[in-house]
Homo-oligomer: A and B are copies of this chain.
Amino acid sequence: MSAKEQYDELTQRTREVALLGSTSAVLHWDQETYMPPEGNELRSEQLSMLAGMAHDKFTDKRIGDLIAGLESSDLVKDPLSPEAVNIRELRHQYDKETKLPKSLVEEMTRTTSRAQKEWVQARKDSDFKRFQPWLEKVLELKRQQAEAYGYEGEPYNALLDDYEPGATVDDIEKVFANLRDELVDLLDKIKGAPKQPDVSIVEREYDVDKQKIFGEMVASAMGFNFKAGRLDITTHPFCTGIGYGDTRILTRYNPKRLNDALFGTMHEAGHGLYESGLPKTDHFGTPMGESVSLGIHESQSRMWENQVGRSKPFWQHFFPILQNLFKESLHGVKLDDFYAAINNVAPSYIRVEADECTYNLHILLRFELERALLRGDLKPADVPDEWNSRFEKYLGIKVDKDSNGCLQDVHWSFGLVGYFPTYTLGNIYSAQFFNQAKKELPDLEQQFERGELVNLRHWLKEKIHSQGQRFRATDLVEEVTGSPLDHRPTIDYMKAKYGEIYGF
Give A contacts to B, CB under 8 Å. 16, 19-20, 22-23, 26-27, 30, 34-43, 45-46, 49-50, 53, 225-230, 232, 242-246, 248, 284
Contacts and interface: CB of A to CB of B under 8 A. Distances in A.
Given A42-B22, A45-B19, A46-B19, A34 B245 contact: no
Contacts of A284: 42
Nearest to A281: B41
Contact of A19 (B37, B49, B226): B49
A41 B228 contact: no
Given A26-B27, A34-B232, A42-B284, 6 more contacts: A23-B23, A23-B27, A23-B46, A36-B228, A38-B245, A39-B242
10 closest A-B pairs (Cβ-Cβ)? A39-B246, A38-B245, A38-B228, A42-B243, A39-B245, A19-B49, A23-B46, A38-B227, A36-B228, A37-B227
A36 B245 CA distance: 8
A430 B20 CA distance: 41
A402 B19 CA distance: 41
Contacts of A40: 245
Contacts of A245: 36, 38-42
Nearest to A42: B243
Nearest to A24: B23
Nearest to A52: B16
Contacts of A26: 26-27, 30, 46
Nearest to A45: B19
Given A27-B23, A246-B38, A246-B42, A16 B49 contact: yes
Contacts of A36: 226-230, 245-246, 248
30 contacts: A16-B49, A19-B45, A19-B46, A19-B49, A20-B49, A22-B42, A23-B27, A23-B50, A26-B26, A26-B30, A34-B34, A36-B226, A36-B227, A36-B228, A36-B229, A36-B230, A36-B246, A36-B248, A37-B228, A38-B227, A38-B246, A39-B242, A39-B243, A39-B245, A39-B246, A40-B245, A41-B244, A42-B284, A43-B246, A46-B243
Nearest to A43: B246
A45 B285 CA distance: 12
Nearest to A40: B245
A249 to B, nearest CB: 11
A221 B30 CA distance: 26
Indicate how many identical chains form the complex. Answer: 2
Nearest to A229: B36
A50 B248 CA distance: 22
A20, A39, A50, A284: residue with the most chain B Cβ atoms closer than 10 Å: A39
A355 to B, nearest CB: 33
Contact of A42 (B35, B225, B229, B244): B244
Contacts of A37: 227-228
Nearest to A247: B36
A66 to B, nearest CB: 20
Contacts of A228: 36-39
A34 B23 CA distance: 15
A201 to B, nearest CB: 34
A436 to B, nearest CB: 31
A45 B20 CA distance: 10
A504 to B, nearest CB: 47
A493 to B, nearest CB: 35
A369 B487 CA distance: 77
A239 to B, nearest CB: 14
Contact of A46 (B22, B43, B53, B227): B22
Contacts of A246: 35-36, 38-39, 42-43
A35 B39 CA distance: 20
Contacts of A230: 34, 36
A220 to B, nearest CB: 13
Contacts of A42: 22, 242-246, 284
A318 B20 CA distance: 47
Contacts of A243: 39, 42, 46
Contacts of A226: 36
A232 B33 CA distance: 13
A187 B232 CA distance: 50
A281 to B, nearest CB: 10
Nearest to A276: B38
Nearest to A244: B42
Contacts of A242: 39, 42
Contacts of A225: 38
A382 B246 CA distance: 45
